[in-house]
Amino acid sequence: MIKLENVTKVYKGDVTALRNASVDIQKGEFVFLVGASGSGKSTFLRLLTKEEQPTEGRIFVAGKDLGELSHWKVPFLRRNIGCIFQDFKLLSNRTVAENVAFALEVIGRPRHVVQSQVPAILDLVGLGDKAANFPHELSGGEQQRVSIARAFVNRPLILLADEPTGNLDPATSVGIMRLLDRINKTGTTVVMATHDRGIVDTMRRRVIELDRGEIIRDQARGVYE
Amino acid sequence: MAIKVDYVLRETGTNLFRNFTITLASVLTVFVSLILVGSSLLLRQGVEKATRRWEGGIEFIIFIKPDATQEEVAALQRELEESPEIESFTFVDQEQAYEEFKQMFSEQPEMVESVEPSVLPPSFRVVPVDKRAVSVESLSKQFADRPGVEDVVSATKTIRQVQELSQRFTFIIVVVAVVLLGAALLLILNTIRMAMYARRHEIEVMKLVGATNWFIRVPFMLEGLVEGMVGAALAIIALVFFSPVIQGWLPPPTEFPLFSGFIPGGAELLGTCILMGITGCVVGALGAGVAVTRFLDV
């Protein structure tokens, strides 16, 4: 599903974010990306959505060589990838339901699809009764659930999560991880960058550790360190 | 992928009203500059129409009696050909004279109807070698008493002044208008840049979930186009509405025939309006296009 072949990413000013990284992630896997800040976790994720281009090496996502993918096809790649973030990136002037619907509307899904999918996905993340609320009326955990609903409503093949529990307390984080686990069980490949030792050690999934842009560990059923 | 029409219209509308004052500034700048372009074009066309027979250095016209004989005309032509003081000349027969008359008085059909080609005098339009007023005067007098000649008319000072003034005037107006159009373009560009900044979170999410570049761009491009179009439409309405008003200020053509040509005809007005409309749209689309390609990193 995701394959990196000797990928190096050097930013302007000779900052090496990723050095000769090779990874193969199968469909349906759940992978933790761990490492200190600046170790290249975010760059790793941004390369997968072609927000960044590798300086060297090749990247395959959902069977497509990203280097060969023309500029105008990138949006269609991103429809196969759901993304969630530490800061949720919800639109504050839209309700919960509108935030989720927005993701479907802007990729041209017909109205009846939007009307049936949105309540269903909100029920799935446990926010069926908050559809008409605005993001600022929700707790952090609920907001993250909205952003997961938005990322997953289009049933992507891959879910990328950049420190999704970074702003949440441990109890709330557990709820979010249960949700991601459920999504993973539907066959969605999940790649999650995290600093959360507790989560990694409890879940015991594949762990890829980065240190200054190099993969120093790739362990099945691994722990934080 | 089909871009939903209602989505695009809603977004464009929201953008237009979000920064209403700036939108208004863009529209008004387009409006003022196009009014200047339009009115100077009409003025220029009017002057050209009124002074058409004096174009190309023609200094005097020999009008021939409608009943002059072939020999008399031939003699005149020979004299003009042989004279070293004459650079060139053209013969305008009755049919051509009638065409010219119809053009000059295109706004007064009753005058055109009352005239037939047979009552209009044919004429020689003469370009002398020496264009100083004194020598033109003496040269033209030579022909006044030739057989078959009805009258000799030389280009008056007024006509020359009107031509020159209109040239300078249009030049200045066009320069001002071009500067204003440039300002309008920059204003539109900035309005759209602000609209994009106001919507940066939406744009970020749109890119995230895989909205196509065109889906993101089109509402912004339409916004610019609409600003240009509205400005142009206002200018056209103003021009169409005010041109009869300005006509009212001029003396009636019967008292001062030179001004008859200053009244822009329907065809000229239409042509000018089309040009204004196109210019407005181009300015709007160009401003939006630059903003979208420069500042919308998709």
Compare CB distances from A76 to B7, B210, B216 and report the shortest one's residue.
Answer: B210
User: Across chain A, what does the average pLDDT equal?
Assistant: 94
Task: Report the gap between the CA of A83 and the closest CA in chain B (Å).
Answer: 7
Residues of B with CB under 8 A from a CB of A: 1-4, 7, 201-202, 204-213, 215-216
Whether residue B128 sits in one domain with residue B68 = yes
Report how far apart, in Å, the C-alpha atoms of B201 and of each of B50, B78, B195, B207 are.
Answer: 60, 84, 12, 10
Whether residue B148 sits in one domain with residue B69 = yes
Per-residue confidence (pLDDT) for residue B57, from 0 to 100: 65
Decide if A75 and B2 are in contact by the 8 Å CB cutoff. no
Whether residue B276 sits in one domain with residue B180 = yes
Q: Does position B298 have pLDDT exceeding 60, yes or no?
A: no
Compare CB distances from B211 to A75, A77, A150 and report the shortest one's residue.
Answer: A75
Which pair of structure tokens corresponds to residue A135?
Answer: 């993001």
Which pair of structure tokens corresponds to residue A34?
Answer: 């761990």
Which pair of structure tokens corresponds to residue A219?
Answer: 């362990």
Whether residue B261 sits in one domain with residue B140 = no
Q: Does position B109 have pLDDT exceeding 90, yes or no?
A: no
Task: Please give the share of chain B, as a percent, with pLDDT higher than 70.
Answer: 84
Whether residue B182 sits in one domain with residue B236 = yes
CA nearest to A94 within chain B: B202
Best of A77, A87, A106 to substitute, by most chain B Cβ atoms within 10 angstroms, is A106
Whether residue B25 sits in one domain with residue B110 = no
Residues 6+ apart with CB under 8 A from A75: A107, B207, B210, B211, B212, B213
One-letter amino acid for residue B78 of the chain: R
Per-residue confidence (pLDDT) for residue B246, from 0 to 100: 65
- What is the mean pLDDT of the segment spanning B27-36? 90
Decide if B209 and A103 are in contact by the 8 Å CB cutoff. yes
Whether residue B293 sits in one domain with residue B169 = yes
**CB of A79 within 8 A of CB of A61?**
no
Decide if A107 and B210 are in contact by the 8 Å CB cutoff. yes
Residue A79 near chain B (CB below 8 Å): yes
Decide if A108 and B207 are in contact by the 8 Å CB cutoff. no
Q: Does position B270 have pLDDT exceeding 80, yes or no?
A: yes
Domain boundary among B99, B123, B154: B154
Report how far apart, in Å, the C-alpha atoms of A77 and of each of A34, A60, A69, A71, A117 are.
Answer: 25, 11, 9, 10, 21
Decide if A77 and B204 are in contact by the 8 Å CB cutoff. no
* pLDDT tens-digit series, residues B129-186: 776 767 777 777 777 777 888 888 777 666 667 777 777 878 888 888 889 888 889 9
* Beta strands per DSSP E along chain B: 60-64, 86-92, 123-128, 149-154
Per-residue confidence (pLDDT) for residue B254, from 0 to 100: 52
Q: Does position A208 have pLDDT exceeding 90, yes or no?
A: yes
Per-residue confidence (pLDDT) for residue B85, from 0 to 100: 78
Chain B partners within 8 Å of A91 (Cβ): 201-202, 205
Whether residue B290 sits in one domain with residue B174 = yes
Q: Does position A215 have pLDDT exceeding 80, yes or no?
A: yes
Task: Please give the share of chain A, as a percent, with pLDDT higher than 90.
Answer: 90
Q: Does position B264 have pLDDT exceeding 70, yes or no?
A: no
Q: Collapsing DSSP states into helix, strand and coil, what is residue A84?
A: strand
Domain boundary among B154, B175, B209: B154
Residue A147 near chain B (CB below 8 Å): no
Whether residue B150 sits in one domain with residue B172 = no
Whether residue B232 sits in one domain with residue B133 = no
Per-residue confidence (pLDDT) for residue B170, from 0 to 100: 80
- Domain containing B107 — which CATH number? 3.30.70.3040
Per-residue confidence (pLDDT) for residue B250, from 0 to 100: 57
Task: Report the gap between the CA of B164 and the closest CA in chain A (Å).
Answer: 56
Structural domain for B276, as ranges: 5-51+159-297
Domain boundary among B130, B154, B178: B154
* pLDDT tens-digit series, residues A151-193: 999 999 999 999 999 999 999 999 999 999 999 999 999 999 9
Q: Does position B1 have pLDDT exceeding 70, yes or no?
A: no
* pLDDT tens-digit series, residues A86-130: 999 999 989 999 999 999 998 989 989 999 999 999 999 999 999
Compare CB distances from B208 to A83, A105, A108 and report the shortest one's residue.
Answer: A83
Whether residue B264 sits in one domain with residue B209 = yes
| Sign of the alpha-carbon dihedral angle for A139, A141, A144, A146 | negative
Chain A partners within 8 Å of B18 (Cβ): none
Per-residue confidence (pLDDT) for residue B68, from 0 to 100: 78
Q: How far apart are CA A139 and CA A126, in angstroms?
A: 13
Provide ipTM, 2 decimals. Answer: 0.89
Q: How far apart are CA A32 and CA A205, in angstroms?
A: 7
Task: Report the gap between the CA of A111 and the closest CA in chain B (Å).
Answer: 10
Count how many domains chain B has. Answer: 2
- What is the mean pLDDT of the segment spanning B277-289? 92
Decide if A105 and B212 are in contact by the 8 Å CB cutoff. no
How many Å separate Cα B26 from the centre of its chain?
23
Which pair of structure tokens corresponds to residue A141?
Answer: 């955990």
Q: Which helix (H) or strand (E) holds A210?
A: strand A206-211
- What is the mean pLDDT of the segment spanning B210-227? 90
Residue A112 near chain B (CB below 8 Å): no
Residues 6+ apart with CB under 8 A from B71: none
β B60-64/B123-128 pair status:
antiparallel
- Give the residue, B146 or B200, on which the prediction is more confident: B200
Best of B18, B208, B213, B215 to substitute, by most chain A Cβ atoms within 10 angstroms, is B208
CA nearest to A152 within chain B: B209
Residue A187 near chain B (CB below 8 Å): no
Per-residue confidence (pLDDT) for residue B252, from 0 to 100: 55
Compare CB distances from A108 to B1, B207, B208 and report the shortest one's residue.
Answer: B1
What pTM was computed for the model?
0.72
* pLDDT tens-digit series, residues A49-66: 999 999 999 999 998 999
Residue A75 near chain B (CB below 8 Å): yes
Decide if A76 and B209 are in contact by the 8 Å CB cutoff. no
Per-residue confidence (pLDDT) for residue B241, from 0 to 100: 84
* pLDDT tens-digit series, residues A134-152: 999 999 999 999 999 999 9
Task: Report the gap between the CA of B17 and the closest CA in chain A (Å).
Answer: 17
Report how far apart, in Å, the C-alpha atoms of A144 and of each of A7, A156, A170, B9 are.
Answer: 31, 17, 14, 31
Decide if B1 and A106 are in contact by the 8 Å CB cutoff. no
Task: Report the gap between the CA of B227 and the closest CA in chain A (Å).
Answer: 24
Whether residue B267 sits in one domain with residue B133 = no
Q: Classify burial at A178, counting beta carbons within 10 Å of its beta carbon; exposed 0-12, middle 13-18, buried 19 or more.
A: exposed
In this structure, of A28-37, A194-203, B244-253, the range with the lowest mean pLDDT score is: B244-253
Chain B partners within 8 Å of A150 (Cβ): 205, 209
Per-residue confidence (pLDDT) for residue B92, from 0 to 100: 82
